[in-house]
Amino acid sequence: MSQAFDYDLVIIGAGVGGHGAALHAVKCGLKTAIVEAGDIGGTCVNRGCIPSKALLAASGRVRELRNTHHLKSLGIQVGDVSFERQAIADHAKDLVSKIQGDMSNSLTRLGIDVIKGWGKLAGEQKVVVETASGSQMLTAKDVLLSTGSVPFVPPGIELDGKTVFTSDEALKLDWLPQWIAIIGSGYIGLEFSDIYTALGSEVTLIEALDRLMPTFDPDIAKIAQRVLINPRDIETKVGAIAKTVKPGSPVVIELADPKTKEVSEVLEVDACLVATGRIPATQNLGLESVGVELDRRGFIPTDAYLAVLRNGEPVPHLWAIGDAMGKMMLAHAASAQGVVAVENICDRPREVNYLSIPAAAFTHPEVSFVGLTEPAAKELAEQQGFQVGAVRTYFKGNSKALAEGEVEGLAKVIYRKDTGEILGAHIIGLHASDLIQEAANAIAQKTSVADLSFMVHTHPTLSEVLDEAFKRAEVAH
Ligand SMILES: Cc1cc2nc3c(=O)[nH]c(=O)nc-3n(C[C@H](O)[C@H](O)[C@H](O)COP(=O)(O)OP(=O)(O)OC[C@H]3O[C@@H](n4cnc5c(N)ncnc54)[C@H](O)[C@@H]3O)c2cc1C
Ligand SMILES: NC(=O)c1ccc[n+]([C@@H]2O[C@H](COP(=O)([O-])OP(=O)(O)OC[C@H]3O[C@@H](n4cnc5c(N)ncnc54)[C@H](O)[C@@H]3O)[C@@H](O)[C@H]2O)c1
């Protein structure tokens, strides 16, 4: 370490992004400190991935055990299935404390200084931390910003945290409303529709765009509508914005046309979950002390190497990752960026390949994807002059899915017909979130579908759904 600085690296924000960066920094021999104003683990561990997956796991079991038709087809009968709301909530809470504790221990075990307080830049290579016992100035050769994001609440929507709330409160599962409106059909809207309907609530899903799940590949969205929405107690309002939401009993929601803003309908429900996206937590970070301006949407501007930009040029020794820079708001994207930023700090230039980063919605069944949708792949093909192939394989033709009696599902692989390179893969079906990894690795390594078709998959497994797609792809020789 250079003697001129307190640390080689100071990281502001100990979410999964900051944590991943800190662990890699130690591996690279950097003397590291991490500053955290709230709970170690940030959104993902405390108010995101972890508690939501715990609620999905428990509510998913309730759904499964109440599906007498499915159980009967396997020769099983069960009596009445009941659950304790508070016990399910405690499962999520306990998991959060366990993982938060494990993360804190991993930092201290590796000799990383954890400084509790609000961190902000105080000029180049300087961070000031407002701690409970006063302010502390730190100097560092490099500074990494990983301050994450918070829920976005559109104007006109009033939160009270009890009847109108965001995922921050919903994850506590303090009560189960009989009728809940969920605004937004993105990841949070979809996962919470799964949780609430499994536990017996009626859901009204409100989406501003003209189709539900607007970011999914159209074929997948169609099946998702058929298996995740239609058979459940979910009413949908598509092409409608929640213009105003007033908390209380009942919660009153004015729906309006997104273009004219004219009120078209008024709903009275027991509760409302606002799941309309997230905004970066980038205020009061002292960015002005180094002359950096946030972009139009409040994200920290960065280049491909994750260096923070000032008037389009990298600021020396200042880096940003994760939800705060907003390239892909996912936990594993944030930690991958953390590793890449540290590599760049160590003068080993590296970029993140976003096309190979998979994403999943952990509904029942799950939805996952990596790379481009078919319309996006076709657009690229037109620009670059190549042909796109798309193969679809169905879970109903897979022995393992048949044995499980879980046959709803589709895998779709989109590829270049000339090179066989995979451009995108999309799956809906049992364990889709695990299955997508093979396609993600293939994209990262540019493996052709022709080569993948020779790789041997265990029989009988769900992985054969993708195997069949690789074998059916037609690549020019
Ligand atoms: C309900 C929900 C479910 C989700 N599920 C998934 C999922 O299944 N899979 C997935 O990949 N992603 C999921 N996400 C997204 C995921 O949580 C985020 O992408 C991820 O947490 C981003 O990590 P980060 O490190 O960039 O930021 P964060 O996790 O938000 O961490 C930032 C940290 O910085 C701290 N901080 C901020 N400013 C300062 C400051 N000035 N000084 C000191 N500390 C500061 C904050 O307190 C926070 O702890 C989910 C999100 C939500 C809301
Ligand atoms: N499984 C996962 O990986 C997972 C799970 C949950 C959250 N997340 C992350 O958290 C972030 C936030 O999730 P999210 O679901 O809130 O955001 P999102 O951006 O995925 O979806 C928000 C949806 O709300 C709609 N919308 C916005 N304003 C509206 C309005 N006024 N009325 C009606 N509809 C409106 C949008 O059109 C969009 O479809 C995402 O970026 C996601 O990456 C990931």
Same domain, 316 and 455: no
Q: Whose CA is nearest to atom 21 of ligand 2?
A: 186
∠ CA 11-17-22, rounded to 5°: 45
Same domain, 17 and 144: yes
Same domain, 145 and 24: yes
Task: Outline where DSSP puts E strands in 27-78.
Answer: 32-36
Per the structure, the count of domains in the chain is 3
Q: What is the pLDDT of residue 314?
A: 98
Strand order in the sheet with 251-256: 241-246, 251-256, 263-269
Last residue of a domain, one of 214, 248, 276: 276
Residue 345 has pLDDT above 60, yes or no: yes
Same domain, 131 and 224: no
ipTM of the complex: 0.98
Same domain, 11 and 146: yes
Distance, CA of 106 to CA of 73 (rounded, Å): 46
154-189: per-residue pLDDT in tens? 999 999 999 999 999 999 999 999 999 999 999 999
Last residue of a domain, one of 327, 352, 377: 352
Q: What is the pLDDT of residue 477?
A: 72
Distance, CA of 58 to CA of 173 (rounded, Å): 12
What type of residue sits at position 37?
A
Q: What is the pTM of this model?
A: 0.97
Last residue of a domain, one of 276, 294, 312: 276
Question: What Rg do the C-alpha atoms of the chain give, in angstroms?
Answer: 24
Same domain, 272 and 320: no
Same domain, 272 and 395: no
189-233: per-residue pLDDT in tens? 999 999 999 999 999 999 999 999 888 999 999 999 999 999 999
* Percent share of the chain, pLDDT over 90: 98
Residue 222 belongs to what domain range?
164-276
Task: Outline where DSSP puts E strands in 257-312.
Answer: 263-269, 271-274, 278-280, 307-310
Give the Å distance between the CA of 388 and the centre of ligand 2: 29
**Ligand 2 atom closest to Cα of 328?**
43
Q: Whose CA is nearest to atom 16 of ligand 2?
A: 277
Same domain, 111 and 235: no
Average of per-residue pLDDT values in the chain: 97
What's the whole-number mean pLDDT along residues 311-339?
A: 97
Q: Which residues line ligand 1 (CB under 6 A)?
A: 12-18, 35-38, 42-44, 47-49, 52, 118-120, 146-149, 167, 188, 281, 285, 322-324, 329-332, 334, 362
Give the Å distance between the CA of 338 and the centre of ligand 1: 13
CATH number of the domain that residue 201 is part of: 3.50.50.60
Q: CA nearest 205: which of 170, 227, 238, 231?
A: 238
359-370: per-residue pLDDT in tens? 999 999 999 999
Q: What is the pLDDT of residue 360?
A: 98
Q: CA nearest 281: which of 331, 241, 339, 320?
A: 320
Same domain, 381 and 427: yes
